[in-house]
A and B are shown apart, each in its own frame.
Chain A
Amino acid sequence: MLHIVNKSATDRGSLESCLRMATKGSAVLLIEDAVYAATTGNAAAAKIQAAAADLKIYALGPDLAARGMAGRVLDGVNVVDYGGFVDLVAEHSNCQSWL
């Protein structure tokens, strides 16, 4: 399953809700304001790094770049473009947007 999160973890609880429900081996894609969680020094970074042990974590590159965060991505987070986003949806049998 692919989980898509679009809210900043320092503003809303949707990343936390997502990580709670994501089963081992599933993928989490951070888009829009959610990408801040995948950057060094963010309060949610430890949560992302812990989750990366059991989940595949992705962040949308154009959203990172648009926020000045392209150079601060955490180790273990895979950066994808919109084509990569499409591939992730295609590769997983279902997806859930944690709006």
Chain B
Amino acid sequence: MQFGILVNEGPYSHQASDSAFLFARAALEKGYKVPRVFFYHDGVYNASRLATPPQDDRNVGARWSKLAADHGVDLVVCVAAAQRRGITDGVLGDNFRISGLGQLVEMGIQYDRLVTFGD
């Protein structure tokens, strides 16, 4: 079974990205596939490699990057939402890419489930 995940809020201000990450990791541990996570609205801020949280806190963006590296998860940032918020190719963390909303619609069409995390 394939899960698509939609993240609608940025890191730290809301729990959404943390909940989405822990859900994705649990799904992968159970042997399900998470082919793609789509970042929309303020969720695009998760993709910034410029974030430098304190050492004793989790690094939300880097954690997504590592999950993608370990499990081949496609981390897609909505281009229109990213352009509004100043997220460009130049600031993207590892394994994030910018693409269109069509990538979100495709998750709904092709995967078995789409789970949304937001405010």
Mark A residues whose CB is within 8 Å of B: 4, 6, 31-33, 62, 81-83, 85-87, 89-90, 94-95, 97, 99
Q: Known: A82-B25, A85-B26. Contact between A99 and B8, CB under 8 A?
A: yes
- Pair A90/B19 contact, Cβ less than 8 Å: no
Residues in chain A near residue B118, CB distance under 8 A? 6, 97, 99
**Partner-contacting stretch, out of B27-35, B68-76, B90-98:** B27-35
Distance in angstroms from A79 CB to nearest chain B CB is 15
Q: Choose from B3, B16, B19 the contact partner of A89 (Cβ within 8 Å).
A: B3
* Contact B23–A86 (Cβ < 8 Å): yes
Q: Nearest 5 CB-CB pairs, A to B? A: A82-B26, A97-B116, A99-B118, A86-B27, A83-B26
Interface residues on B, range: 20 to 34
> Which residue of chain B is the closest to A82 with respect to CB atoms?
B26
Query: Which residues of B are at the interface with A, using a C-beta cutoff of 8 A?
Result: 1, 3, 8, 15-16, 19, 22-23, 25-27, 29-30, 32, 113-119
Cβ–Cβ < 8 Å partners of B19 in chain A:
6, 31-32
Query: Does more than half of chain B's interface fall in helix, strand or loop, or is it mixed?
Result: mixed
Given contacts A82-B25, A99-B116, 6 further A-B contacts (CB under 8 A): A4-B115, A6-B15, A31-B19, A33-B15, A86-B32, A99-B8
Are A99 and B119 in contact (CB-based, < 8 A)?
Answer: yes
CA distance A90 to B116 in the complex (A): 14
Most buried by B among A85, A89, A94, A95: A89
With A97-B115, A99-B118, A99-B119 given, is the CB distance from A90 to B1 under 8 Å? Answer: yes
Which residues of chain A come closer than 8 Å to B1, judged between CB atoms?
90
